[in-house]
Amino acid sequence: AQKVTQAQTEISVVEKEDVTLDCVYETRDTTYYLFWYKQPPSGELVFLIRRNSFDEQNEISGRYSWNFQKSTSSFNFTITASQVVDSAVYFCALSVLNTGNQFYFGTGTSLTVIP
């Protein structure tokens, strides 16, 4: 069975602090993708990043970075020097090659950045 767990329901940080959003996934397949999406208060889910299971190289995009560790089945997301515009709900997701086109979403982490 496939599953994505985002244990942090809500996080509040003060602007300019760093924050890490945790994502733990479960799958027995060796070929899969992991994703992060951002849902700002406006409501539309925005794709942030996709990683495939064969590429554990960490990625940095501006203030955003992602740490993929197969050994712990985690795909954590760090925002450096957080800003108020980062306030949103963030979803982690998994898709697995051998389960058709089904996607598995975590329950989301609501991040509030306090000015």
Range list of β-strands (E), the chain = 3-5, 10-14, 19-21, 24-26, 32-39, 46-52, 59-61, 64-69, 74-79, 88-96, 98-101, 103-105, 109-114
Binding to other proteins (CB under 8 A) within 1-40 occurs at: 33, 35, 37
The answer to the question of residue 71 lying near other proteins (CB under 8 A) is no
The answer to the question of residue 107 lying near other proteins (CB under 8 A) is yes
Residue count at the site for other proteins (CB under 8 A)? 22
Q: Please report, as ranges, the residues that interact with other proteins according to CB under 8 A.
A: 33, 35, 37, 43-47, 50, 91, 93, 95-97, 100-103, 105-108
